[in-house]
Amino acid sequence: MKKLIQLKINGETAEVAVEPRTTLLHVLREDLGLTGTKEGCGIGDCGACTVLLDGKPVASCLTLAVEVRDREVLTIEGLSKDGELHPLQRAFIDHFAVQCGFCTPGMILSAKALLDRNPHPVEEEVRQALSGNLCRCTGYVKIVEAVLAAAEYMQSQ
Amino acid sequence: MIYLKSLPTFEYFSPQSLKEACSFLKAHENGAKIVAGGTDLLIDMKYRKVTPRYLVGLRTLPELSRVTFGDQEGLRIGAMVTHQEIMDGPIINEKFKSIALACSQVGTPQIRNMGTVGGNVCNAAPSADSVPPLMAYSATVTIAGAESDRVLPLEEMFIGPGENCLKAGEILAEIRVPVAPPHTGAVYVRLPARTGKDIAAVGVAVLITLDPTSGACNDVKIVLGAVAPTPIRSRKAEAALNGEKPGEDLINRAALLSADEAKPISDVRSSLDYRTEMVRVLTGQALNQALAIARAS
Ligand SMILES: Cc1cc2nc3c(=O)[nH]c(=O)nc-3n(C[C@H](O)[C@H](O)[C@H](O)COP(=O)(O)OP(=O)(O)OC[C@H]3O[C@@H](n4cnc5c(N)ncnc54)[C@H](O)[C@@H]3O)c2cc1C
Ligand code: FES
Ligand code: FES
């Protein structure tokens, strides 16, 4: 049976009818058209489906939409402000940290959660924070550089 | 094995109290399951290993998400507390470091934000990382039932791989960890050592309390993870150390006894022989590290 639930996504309230078995990932992509969040493995391994739930990275493929009621979801679509890219998004472009782009939304959200908690991370902390996000293209080096550069830029602002 | 990306159909029940949750589970005996973080259960459901008719969510019960500490009653960890909350908890880091360290080695940041210590225990995987250090601290579990509650030593929770001792209508409510006496060192070491996607191939938790005057072991707990159908105490090695002054020879002998007590299997992660040898190596390392902490404290 479908239930009507309210979710707070990227600062806005959305009302969706979900079955208990509907994942947050499915609601985002299929009901709300927020296809920035990707589905890779579907079982918690790859991190492509990462979103921030109350500020913390979670795997939306293993999150029941009914359990997200009244909590705050941030997806990659919610990062830019007034058409301005977030410094992390900018840094990913400038440092060639994006190849196919499939892992990028999840990577950026994991990186944002890190920088929110720890604005001056060292390389090892960046690697730890991104350890739940797989990338099959870049070899990670450029991604780590981009996150460190974004941190530096955000400090200088 | 194949899995589907969509979950099988079920109804979701959100109880208003722990008792109501227990009664619901009891009434639907085999058809209902608790969902905590879902990081084990929802995957099993995608594989169609389990297809419960009802899932009972515990998020509406804030008392299960609390961590409290008192000098007398020790540490109390609600079943719904996540691995990340444990690894960030100031009291746990100060007084129960080996537990915080074990939780920091679970999965990935995403999994640690979702997965709960109660789920880790109830899922009863031999490799569950939070269990060996909790067992080494002689943790107990408080189990809520439809009619009455009961308290058990944590080590009695486990029956076999994926099998716990909970009866119909029972829910793990809380884990209690007593405060260890002074001059205690507790550690958890596991392989692979780095966090990531690899679950433990071997995990060893050690807790040693020393007699400050004689330097002998007053109390030793050695718990092995991932090398038997359940996490196990290495009782022969513990007995070899208890009451003795631990020197290099004795530690080597205890490590050999642990390797002998382990009953590992060969699987994709490691062979039986490798696991047995690593129990010896890790037990030796863990004993030495725990001793160093106990002596310095
Ligand atoms: C990518 C990945 C990596 C992982 N890495 C590790 C690792 O390194 N180490 C490790 O130990 N684990 C690992 N896990 C397994 C898992 O994340 C942990 O076991 C986690 O603690 C499970 O908790 P949960 O809250 O998600 O449990 P759930 O999936 O919600 O529940 C697990 C089981 O316990 C039952 N249950 C849950 N809570 C209760 C309760 N309070 N009372 C009664 N029954 C209950 C459920 O009905 C279910 O059968 C990993 C999982 C994934 C997906
Ligand atoms: S799709 Fe969720 S972790 Fe891979
Ligand atoms: S850029 Fe292709 S997976 Fe990371």
Question: What are the tens digits of pLDDT across the range B26-60?
Answer: 999 889 999 999 999 999 999 999 999 999 999 99
| pLDDT of residue B197 exceeding 80 | no
Contact indicator for A119, A133 with CB cutoff of 8 Å: no
Best residue for ligand 2 mutational test, from A37, A43, A64, A134 (most atoms within 8 Å of Cβ): A43
What mean pLDDT comes out for the span B111-115?
Answer: 98
Within this chain, do residues A93 and A70 fall inside the same structural domain, yes or no? no
**Spatial distance between the Cα atoms of B110 and B275, rounded to a whole number of angstroms:** 28
- Indicate the number of domains in chain A: 2
> Residue written as tokens 């550089």?
A145
Spell out which residues of chain B touch residue A56, defining contact as CB-CB under 8 Å. 84, 113
Q: Using the atom order of ligand 1, give the atom closest to the CA of residue A132.
A: 1
Taking CA A42 as the corner, what is the angle to CA A73 and CA B198, rounded to the nearest 5 degrees? 100
What mean pLDDT comes out for the span A145-153?
Answer: 98
How is residue B208 written in tokens? 């040693």
Query: Which residue's CA lies nearest to atom 27 of ligand 1?
Result: B119
Within this chain, do residues A60 and A99 fall inside the same structural domain, yes or no? no
Within this chain, do residues A97 and A73 fall inside the same structural domain, yes or no? no
Within this chain, do residues A72 and A17 fall inside the same structural domain, yes or no? yes
pLDDT, residue B195, reads 57
| pLDDT of residue B265 exceeding 90 | no
Within this chain, do residues A91 and A121 fall inside the same structural domain, yes or no? yes
Within this chain, do residues A22 and A40 fall inside the same structural domain, yes or no? yes
Contact indicator for A107, A139 with CB cutoff of 8 Å: no
In B, minimum Cα distance to A43 occurs at B43
In B, minimum Cα distance to A54 occurs at B113
Residues paired with residue A3 on neighbouring β-strands, in sequence order: A18
Reduced 3-state DSSP string for A14-67: EEEEECCCCEHHHHHHHHCCCCCCCCCCCCCCCCCCEEEECCEEEEHHHCEHHH
Out of B38, B42, B110, closest to residue A132 by CB: B110
Q: Is B13 on the interface with A (CB under 8 A)?
A: no
pLDDT, residue A1, reads 79
Spell out which residues of chain A touch residue B59, defining contact as CB-CB under 8 Å. 67
Best residue for ligand 1 mutational test, from A41, A45, A62 (most atoms within 8 Å of Cβ): A45
What mean pLDDT comes out for the span B151-168?
Answer: 97
Within this chain, do residues A93 and A42 fall inside the same structural domain, yes or no? no
What mean pLDDT comes out for the span A29-53?
Answer: 97
| pLDDT of residue A48 exceeding 70 | yes
Pairing label, strands A72-74, A3-9: parallel
* Spacing, Cα B116 to ligand 1 middle (Å): 6
pLDDT, residue A137, reads 97
Chain A closest-CA separation from residue B98 CA (Å): 19
**Spatial distance between the Cα atoms of A49 and A71, rounded to a whole number of angstroms:** 17
Using DSSP, state whether B69 is helix, strand or coil.
strand
Sequence-distant (≥ 6) Cβ neighbours of residue B116 within 8 angstroms: B36, B37, B79, B80, B81, B82, B83
Within this chain, do residues A74 and A29 fall inside the same structural domain, yes or no? yes
Within this chain, do residues A121 and A57 fall inside the same structural domain, yes or no? no
Sequence-distant (≥ 6) Cβ neighbours of residue B69 within 8 angstroms: B75, B76, B91, B95
* Spacing, Cα B198 to ligand 3 middle (Å): 21
| Domain residue limits at A125 | 87-156
Within this chain, do residues A97 and A57 fall inside the same structural domain, yes or no? no
Q: Could you tell me the domains of chain B?
A: 11-57 (3.30.43.10), 64-177 (3.30.465.10), 184-296 (3.30.390.50)
Q: Is A59 in the pocket of ligand 2 (CB under 6 A)?
A: yes
The residue type found at B32 is A
For residue B194, name the pLDDT band (cuts at 50, 70, 90): low
| pLDDT of residue A101 exceeding 70 | yes
Query: Among A78, A100, A118, which residue terminates a domain?
Result: A78
Cα torsion angle, A77, A82, A87, A91, sign: positive
Average pLDDT, chain A: 97
Query: Among A54, A78, A102, which residue terminates a domain?
Result: A78
In A, minimum Cα distance to B196 occurs at A131
State percent of chain B over pLDDT 90: 93
Within this chain, do residues A122 and A56 fall inside the same structural domain, yes or no? no
Q: Is A42 in the pocket of ligand 2 (CB under 6 A)?
A: yes
**Spatial distance between the Cα atoms of B292 and B297, rounded to a whole number of angstroms:** 9
Average pLDDT, chain B: 95
In A, minimum Cα distance to B57 occurs at A67
For residue B267, name the pLDDT band (cuts at 50, 70, 90): confident
| pLDDT of residue B93 exceeding 80 | yes
Query: Among A35, A58, A78, which residue terminates a domain?
Result: A78
pLDDT, residue B255, reads 98
| pLDDT of residue B196 exceeding 90 | no
Closest of B6, B84, B81 to residue B42, by C-alpha:
B6
Chain B closest-CA separation from residue A35 CA (Å): 16
Q: Is B36 in the pocket of ligand 1 (CB under 6 A)?
A: yes
Residue B212 DSSP symbol: T
Q: The domain spanning residue A19 has which CATH number? A: 3.10.20.30
Instruction: Tell me how far apart the 2 most distant CA atoms of chain A are, in Å.
Output: 52
Distance in Å from the first CA to the final CA of chain A? 50
**What number of C-beta contacts closer than 8 Å exist between A and B?**
80
Looking at chain B from residue 154 to 173, which residues have their Cβ under 8 Å from any Cβ of chain A? none
Within this chain, do residues A64 and A119 fall inside the same structural domain, yes or no? no
Closest of A6, A71, A50 to residue A32, by C-alpha:
A6
Which of B54, B58, B108, B194 would you mutate first to test chain A, the one with the most A CBs within 10 A? Answer: B108
Q: The domain spanning residue A136 has which CATH number? A: 1.10.150.120
Using DSSP, state whether B160 is helix, strand or coil.
strand
| pLDDT of residue B276 exceeding 90 | yes
Q: Is A39 in the pocket of ligand 2 (CB under 6 A)?
A: yes
